[in-house]
Amino acid sequence: MSEKTHPLITVVGAGISGLNVVYCLTELYGVPGENICVVGDYLPGDQSANGYSSPWAGGNFSCISPDDKNVIWYDKFTYQNLPSLTKKLLEFYKGKDEEWLGLARRPSTELWDFQPSEAKINSWSQYLDGYNVLTKDQLAKFQPKGAVFGITFKTFNFNCPVFLVNFAEFLKGKHGVSFVKDRLTHIAQAKTYANKASKKNNSKHIVFNCTGLGSKELGGVADHNLHPTRGQVVVITAPHVAENCLRWGKDYATYIIPRPGKLHELVLGGFLQVDNWNAQDTSREETEDILKRTTTLLPKIGDPGELPILKVAAGLRPSRYGGPRVEKEVKEAEKGLVVIHNYGASGYGYQCGLGMAFKAVSLAFSEQRDSKL
């Protein structure tokens, strides 16, 4: 692709989905960063209870994602490409390590109260480092009783608020991508944002919509399949716990997720509350329930009444009925506006985000017919 053929690109949304798209554009497709502008209500380093979910994520590669064949592929692509992303960022941040970066490896144990699908099990066995299926005797050691399937493997852990900032600074510092803090009310407005450093040597302009829950009300999108899935977590400091432990039930999720970094934070959760928009408030009852479940699952955490709690927080996962939307849409009414939608990953945006982003960027540079909502 010659320089003259590179389009101008606006990425709407500066969470993990938007940053992954910019990474794929620059590092995997060779698009000059000077042609790319990221615009969002919130930028890395900001926090918002309702509008910016990425900093609130527990942040690991887990096996929570659904059985959809596309999502299975997104997971695999992300897991296999996170080592390369880590290497590129550490080459840029000379002298820094994974703990500082906010993306490091940790062991993980995951348990289910039901049998996962064969499609998922077969996929995991092909690419997860250190993949091992637990025996019945091993499962029986976990409390409460009732786990019917479990695995161990080596996963990736994110310190989400730290990693988002470092990821964005890499994209700005290495590639010259611009970031603009602004609120859009209609997706067509995205074409008015461009990197001021761009040479503007062509008229083609592509917009990536990575607005998460914002796409529910964003003009020109208005995807009412979107809905929040509220979560609440308790963050403690626990230098003695450096392992993930997660348990999935039919109506609950319990997770223990260590964050890289010198603070030795441990994220304890949680809840999967569909259509609950309340991220401003946290519940003492839910906090006590989280502490009881997590310390039962992994007793080495400590006495739930004596844990050093740093904060209790709630957030809204950008969930979508029908699964994530990764589609190309040509809006003729807006003079041929080309929009690539990339949103709706719910609580698995960090673990499948690179795969979704690569698919989205591939659609942008293909002649594939657009897909209407």
Q: Which residues are annotated as a binding site for D-dopa?
A: 255, 317, 347
DSSP state of 298: -
Cα dihedral: 341, 349, 358, 8 (round 10): 50
Decide: 219 and 185 in contact? Cβ < 8 Å. Answer: yes
Over its C-alpha atoms, the chain yields an Rg (Å, rounded) of: 20
Per the annotation, where are the binding residues for FAD? 211
Record the tokens describing residue 239, joined without a space.
């230098």
Helices 118-127 and 69-92 cross at an angle (nearest 10°) of: 30
Record the tokens describing residue 75, joined without a space.
């997971």
Distance between CA atoms of 298 and 291, rounded to whole angstroms?
10
The CB density around residue 333, as the number of other CB atoms within 10 Å, is: 8
Kindly tell me the burial class for residue 302, based on how many C-beta atoms sit within 10 Å of its own C-beta (0-12, 13-18, 19 or more). Answer: middle
Strands 226-237 and 253-258, sheet pairing: unpaired
Decide: 328 and 314 in contact? Cβ < 8 Å. Answer: no
How far is CA 163 from its chain centroid?
11
The answer for residues whose C-beta is within 8 angstroms of residue 126's C-beta and 6 or more apart is: 76
The answer for residues whose C-beta is within 8 angstroms of residue 169's C-beta and 6 or more apart is: none
Strand spans (E) along 189-308: 205-209, 226-237, 244-248, 253-258, 265-269, 273-274
Distance between CA atoms of 305 and 94, rounded to whole angstroms?
42
Per the annotation, where are the binding residues? 211, 255, 317, 347
Query: For the residues of 217-228, what is the DSSP string, one character each?
Result: T-BTT--TTEEE
What separation in angstroms does the CA of 259 have from each of 55, 158, 162, 290? Answer: 12, 6, 10, 18
Distance between CA atoms of 348 and 165, rounded to whole angstroms?
19
